Amino acid sequence: MGSEVLIYGYGLVCLSMLAFNLIYSLYLRGAGRRTRRRKEHMAAVVVPALSGSRVPEGHTERMADMLRQVKDLLALDDYLQTLPEEIAGEYITRIAGIFPGLAKYYDGRDDMFCAYFSHFVQRWGRYMAGERRKLAQTISLYANKNSLYCRINALKALCTLGDAGVLLDALVYLAAENEEDFPINDKIVVELLLKFEGDSREFIELIWDRFERFPPLHQRALLDYIRFKSGDYSDKMLEILTDTGRDKELRLSAIRYFTRYPDERARTSLLGFVSDKDPANWEYAAIAASALAEYPGEDSVDVLSEAMHSGNWYVRSNSAESLEKLGFRYEDLLGKAAAEDRYAREMLTYRLETRMLNAERDKAKEAAKA
């Protein structure tokens, strides 16, 4: 009898699941209609506030109340996107005073809602000028919540609000708290930072001030950000490049910096990296080989020619490419290398063929355009 009860029990659970699915199907069927109605309602509320020099009396309070519902926040966002940007922006500026309060309200709600509020601020925050500081301080708290999406949306919102100090504090806190648990990919951090709408020079100065408080993974992201934004920091980059105690990824980032912004002071280090035959250091050699394309001179040519005999595919490939950029023809190099080394010969032959393939591609593109 016991097993029968168990079996029927499971049967009942399954029937409940089936019922859930059917109800959910019906719910989904009506979802589109409900969203449309909510958006129409929001439009009816917002339209009177778009004209005239001020919003109607009681409108701000009403919106502050309505937007506590995330579905109304969604509807407002949807509706504003149908308006010309300047009209939508002007409206947000008029009601901007409600957002710091809403930020505090959402801080006490589910992470998913905080993430959506951050998304809203990310989209419209540039029109909330007078409230930026207060908003940024509350949203920086979202960056410490459990949900990854909430953290990322919060950081994006902080980038839109453009307060360098608050953003960096949030990043420092995030790095310290979550180094082990949640190492957000450094590429995501770079992409986030590139959206920063405040004073990037002030932001970079702050980064250098607090650089040592970040773990290497985030330090690399910060260096990459600096590289994309400015070439004015060669002194600090040179320190990192020449500091053998630094993390490998940081030094590689410094090499990339000096590829983008050539500086004669980096030449000796770059030549040293390419000359290093230790297989464990192949990444330094490969990336520095690309960098030497920006450092013309006999010493660069000699080191790159020697690197053509490296056992590492990437070192050979990058060296061949750099030599071509320095004005050498693959055909001439091939003649010289053919007698010496199979590795070099193969790579140069392949680079020649690659050039031919690229020419075919360009021809096909031109034909398609025509």
Binding residues for other proteins (CB under 8 A): 3, 6-8, 10-11, 13-15, 17-18, 21, 24-25, 28, 70, 74, 112-113, 115-116, 119, 147-150, 152-153, 182-188, 190-191, 217, 312-313, 316, 343, 346-347, 349-350, 353-354, 356-358, 360-361, 364
Using the minimum distance from each CB to other proteins, give the nearer residue, 32 or 58: 32
| Minimum CB distance to other proteins, residue 356 (Å) | 7
Encoding tokens for residue 176?
């310290």
Helix extents (H) in 230-341: 234-242, 248-260, 267-275, 282-291, 298-307, 313-325, 330-338
Shortest approach of other proteins to residue 344 CB, angstroms? 10
Residues 6+ apart with CB under 8 A from 104: 138
CA-based torsion, 104, 105, 110, 114: positive or negative: negative
CB of 88 to other proteins, least distance (A): 17
Please say which residue, 118 or 259, places its beta carbon nearer to other proteins: 118
Tell me the C-alpha distance between 121 and 351, whole Å: 49
In the block, residue with structure tokens 């969203």: 35
Percentage helix, strand, coil for the chain under 3-state DSSP, each rounded to 5: 80, 0, 20
Nearer to other proteins, 261 or 313 (CB): 313
Identify which of residues 185 and 268 has a Cβ nearer to other proteins in the complex. Answer: 185
Q: Which amino acid is at 152?
A: I
- Least distance between other proteins and beta carbon 155 (Å): 12
E-only strand ranges, 1-147: none
- Compute, in degrees rounded to 10, the torsion defined by CA atoms 70, 74, 75, 77: 130
- Shortest Cβ distance from residue 164 to other proteins (Å)? 21
In the structure encoding, which two tokens stand for residue 194, read together?
A: 């590139």
Of the pair 215, 262, the CB lying nearest other proteins is at 215
Q: Phi and psi for 74 in degrees, rounded to 5?
A: -60, -45
Q: Which is nearer to other proteins, 300 or 322 (CB)?
A: 322
Contact 260, 225 (CB under 8 A): no
- CB of residue 14 vs other proteins: minimum separation in angstroms? 4
What is the length of the chain? Answer: 370
Taking the complex as a whole, the smallest distance from the CB of residue 143 to other proteins amounts, in Å, to 14
Complex with other proteins: residue 149 or 328, whichever CB lies closer: 149
